[in-house]
Copies of this chain bind each other. A is one copy, B any other.
């Protein structure tokens, strides 16, 4: 069985590190950071605590000082990522017209395709079933966010800022090309996907202009 390495495997310095004592929050953060890399590269099962520990500059057993078990590391990680990755729609509240709306949306939506977001998305797809409660939470948060955005759009439509269309009626649809871009990145890698993602982004922008701008 070919072994798949965790992307850039950890340095194998021969020096025996002295035991370094860190504040728990610091250690936790380091471990979570390492866990993100490993879980994301290999998935939950294939990722090993020893490697995570080594990447975090400590040893396996020390992980158990800070987390209950492997699941706990995973859940804590995913929870943190989720909290951080709440889309930022507050900036859309006060747009003046469709052009501005589109510009802000496209910019922030495609800017959110960072490594972290891709990571969390991938983990949700591949390992979401492991943490149904988190999934439920995330799902609920998403439903709410979607509702908020829909309300916002409805208001803009009522105010005549946006043109009504099937899109404004079911506005979560607007995320489809963003998700599509994310998936492309997941499968092909950031580099390989770049070209297509940029093309998608531009097409997305143009189509929104067509669809949303009042006559």
Contacts and interface: CB of A to CB of B under 8 A. Distances in A.
Interface stretch (A94-102, A108-116, A121-129): A121-129
Contact of A210 (B175, B179, B211): B211
Given A173-B200, A177-B173, A2 B71 contact: yes
A203 interface: yes
A42 B46 CA distance: 11
A170 interface: yes
A126 B186 CA distance: 8
The count of identical subunits is 4
A105 interface: no
A173 B200 CA distance: 6
A148 interface: no
Is chain A's interface secondary structure helix, strand, loop, or mixed overall? Answer: helix
Interface residues of A, number: 49
Contacts of A179: 176, 179-180, 183
Contacts of A158: none
Interface string A124-136: 1111111000010
Contacts of A165: 207, 210
Interface in A161-215: 165-167, 169-170, 172-173, 175-177, 179-180, 183, 186-188, 192, 196, 199-200, 202-204, 206-207, 210-211
A139 interface: yes
